[in-house]
Amino acid sequence: MVENGGALIGSDADRERAARLRTEIARHNYRYYVLDDPEIPDAEYDRLFSELQALETRYPELRTPDSPTQRVGAAPLSAFAQVRHRLPMISLANAMSDDELAEFDRRILAALPGTDPVIYTAEPKLDGLAMSIRYEAGLLVQAATRGDGSTGEDVTANVRTVKSVPLRLVGEAWPAVLEVRGEVYMTREGFDRLNKGAAERGERVFANPRNAAAGSLRQLDPRVTAMRPLRFCCYGWGEISIDPDESQYAMLQRLAGWGIPISKELRQVEGPDGCRTYFDDLGRRRAALPYEIDGVVFKVDRIADQTRLGATARHPKWAIARKFPAQEALTVVESVEFQVGRTGAVTPVARLQPVQVGGVTVANATLHNIDEVTRKDVRVGDTVVIRRAGDVIPEVVSVLVERRPPDAVPVEMPAQCPVCGSDVLRPPGEVVARCTGGLYCPAQRKQAIRHFASRRAMDIEGLGEKLVEQLVDSGLVREPADLYRLTAEQLAGLERMGEKSAANLIEALERSKSTRFARFIFALGIPDVGETTAQALASRFSGIGELERTRDSDFIGDRGVKGIGPVVAAEIAGFFAQAHNREAIERLLAAGIHWPDTPAPAKTPDALPLAGKTMVITGTLSRPREEIAARLQDAGAKVTNNVSKKTDYLIAGEAAGSKLQKAQSLGVAILDETMLNALLDRP
């Protein structure tokens, strides 16, 4: 270490160590961001990085522009400077069909007689933002967007933050000047993560990875760009101070050798057949790729042939983009309807002006749930981007707010089920809203009856999915109770149903009438009430009547029924609040469903926590006195009106008066509500 006018100068060893760390870190970046094949754990990478940072902080003169610590070094800009491209950045002609691709191949054969078959390089057409990155003497000196093709924007500071872009070329014999061209893009995973974070913070989300990549690169503050999960993939070059290799394929491999990321999918293919095979294969794998692509790019592989073919003003004649059908389109929301699914989930669906997307006409798109509608702020009358990805249901991606008509109508969740009129319930903290008319709602009919009949519910042997379909579709069964009115003749009249099986089913129905309370509760198909919860309810409630009267969800929760939190309690209360459901249950009981009157185990008097205790309630409590009295009685206590020597406990609320005084004078134990709750919750 040497002192030099106040600044510390590192020793030769420090200098060597810093250089070594820079190379090491750059190599690990490459393995991680380009090859997706890290060699060392993240913690070890962090350690190397910190060591370099520490060295550079101590000896600022060791800090070089290509140091990995300098990816974010620049201050925010007020505007991007303009960059004139030394060679124009032109775009590609498109082929929308195999025929158009064959036509392209014929044109090339005509211009280059004797080359049959033409060798092409094939690679994905990434959906991102075109970028030109210039290296001089092996160092990244400038990065520019395509702009209008001849002038772009200087986004050097931002591109330096993209970890897959080398700040310094590696290997040997790189040219003094090298302009690489490629696409800056975002992986699906990175995009999802970015949007998730933005949504959680209540920020605007990006419609797709391409927009996200473009938006991230056009940040004036490189520190913002640095936090975006951007990648770079090179597909060509611009100005270059050496002669390129003989083929596109070999040249790209050479660039890769200098640390420039190229596509893992890069191949050489022969003639239009080879192109088609590659296109079809990538099309099949498209959804599984970690990034979005909108087609495949084919380029005549021999550079000499490229030169001979030349370019038009807009496109090279030696390359073509074979596009997948577009997956996004613009259209107008004509209305928003609410569909009720088989499980009662109420889903908003946009009815659209029909539009062609990816080769099919789309007239409806899902809006998923009301939270999504609010987040995307979709209104009736809005122009929206819709997307259809493969077999996935088309969805509304985003709204073009600038095209919103003044009379656009916001969307609201209906309070009643559009199918059956029962209340729509959305338990606190839940995303999905549900129709509460489970036993009655036509939309849920088949599901409700199938569940009712299932083995762990009413166990109606022989009543499977197909038969339920038939029964409902023929109008014979509209609700579970209808099952018990079926006659053997009616059944025998159904397709694929013989007399024997009809008789068997009637018998199975008869048998199922004798059941257990827990099974019956489970069979009702109350959302979120599985077998365990049904068991728990059955042991805490004396019968269906008591359960039905329990409209107050807090009360259900308060009973301390195992496994019942506020959401499930709300579902149960919501279910029984529907007269439709209560009537359907009434009809089931009238049909003869019954279960043995097993006293709930917790009700055997001695086992109850307050068995044999006499209690008095006074003052103002958090809930009606009757309710508290009922809870105490359930717990085995005798509740009386007056305090006496026989009183074991006085439950005293606020503003308790004479009873409290009397209890104090008699030495009766006094409990407030918290203590009472503790007492009741005791096992």
Annotated catalytic sites, by residue? 125
* Token pair for 306: 């490229």
Minimal distance, residue 429 CB to ligand IVH, in Å: 43
Element (H, E) at 10: none
Minimal distance, residue 183 CB to ligand IVH, in Å: 5
Give the residue at shortest CB distance from ligand IVH: 130
Minimal distance, residue 320 CB to ligand IVH, in Å: 10
Angle at alpha carbon of residue 555, lines to 552 and 558, rounded to 5°: 155
Minimal distance, residue 130 CB to ligand IVH, in Å: 3
Cβ-in-10-Å burial (0-12, 13-18, 19+) of 371 comes to middle
Q: How far apart are CA 530 and CA 435, in angstroms?
A: 18
Comparing CB distances to ligand IVH, the nearer of 30 and 291 is 291
Cβ-in-10-Å burial (0-12, 13-18, 19+) of 56 comes to buried
* Whether 432 contacts 369, CB under 8 Å: yes
Residue carrying structure tokens 């303009």: 82
Q: Are strands 614-618 and 638-640 parallel, antiparallel or unpaired?
A: parallel
* Whether 525 contacts 450, CB under 8 Å: no
* Token pair for 616: 């008095």
Comparing CB distances to ligand IVH, the nearer of 292 and 528 is 292
* Whether 361 contacts 306, CB under 8 Å: no
Angle at alpha carbon of residue 129, lines to 326 and 104, rounded to 5°: 55
Sequence-ordered strand ranges (E) for 244-390 = 267-270, 293-300, 319-323, 328-340, 345-357, 360-366, 379-380, 383-387
Comparing CB distances to ligand IVH, the nearer of 294 and 634 is 294
| Count of CB atoms situated within 10 Å of the CB of 385 | 19
Residues that bind ligand IVH (CB under 6 A): 90-92, 123, 125-126, 130, 146, 183, 235-236, 297, 316, 319, 321
Best CA proximity match to 526, nearest among 434, 416, 419, 443: 434
Comparing CB distances to ligand IVH, the nearer of 145 and 369 is 145
> Any idea what DSSP says for residue 235?
E
* Whether 349 contacts 368, CB under 8 Å: no
Comparing CB distances to ligand IVH, the nearer of 296 and 384 is 296
* Whether 131 contacts 143, CB under 8 Å: yes
Minimal distance, residue 33 CB to ligand IVH, in Å: 18
Comparing CB distances to ligand IVH, the nearer of 34 and 297 is 297
Minimal distance, residue 127 CB to ligand IVH, in Å: 7
Sequence-ordered strand ranges (E) for 581-660 = 614-618, 638-640, 649-652
Q: How far apart are CA 129 and CA 88, in angstroms?
A: 16
* Token pair for 216: 């991230």
Best CA proximity match to 510, nearest among 462, 450, 476, 471: 462
Minimal distance, residue 264 CB to ligand IVH, in Å: 12
Angle at alpha carbon of residue 408, lines to 405 and 410, rounded to 5°: 150
* Whether 333 contacts 350, CB under 8 Å: yes
Please provide the DSSP assignment of 13-35 as one string: HHHHHHHHHHHHHHHHHIIIIIS
Minimal distance, residue 195 CB to ligand IVH, in Å: 22
Minimal distance, residue 321 CB to ligand IVH, in Å: 6
Comparing CB distances to ligand IVH, the nearer of 130 and 471 is 130
Comparing CB distances to ligand IVH, the nearer of 297 and 617 is 297
Angle at alpha carbon of residue 206, lines to 200 and 207, rounded to 5°: 125
Residue carrying structure tokens 């009662």: 344
Comparing CB distances to ligand IVH, the nearer of 323 and 582 is 323
Angle between helices 188-200 and 209-217 (to 10 degrees): 70
Residue carrying structure tokens 């061209």: 181
Best CA proximity match to 91, nearest among 265, 244, 236, 307: 236
Comparing CB distances to ligand IVH, the nearer of 177 and 214 is 214
Using alpha carbons, list the distances in angstroms from residue 504 to 98, 466, 467, 490: 59, 16, 13, 13
Minimal distance, residue 151 CB to ligand IVH, in Å: 15
Comparing CB distances to ligand IVH, the nearer of 52 and 319 is 319
Q: How far apart are CA 366 and CA 336, in angstroms?
A: 10
* Token pair for 272: 């239009």
* Whether 449 contacts 474, CB under 8 Å: no
| Count of CB atoms situated within 10 Å of the CB of 333 | 24
Comparing CB distances to ligand IVH, the nearer of 195 and 263 is 263
Q: How far apart are CA 45 and CA 1, in angstroms?
A: 26
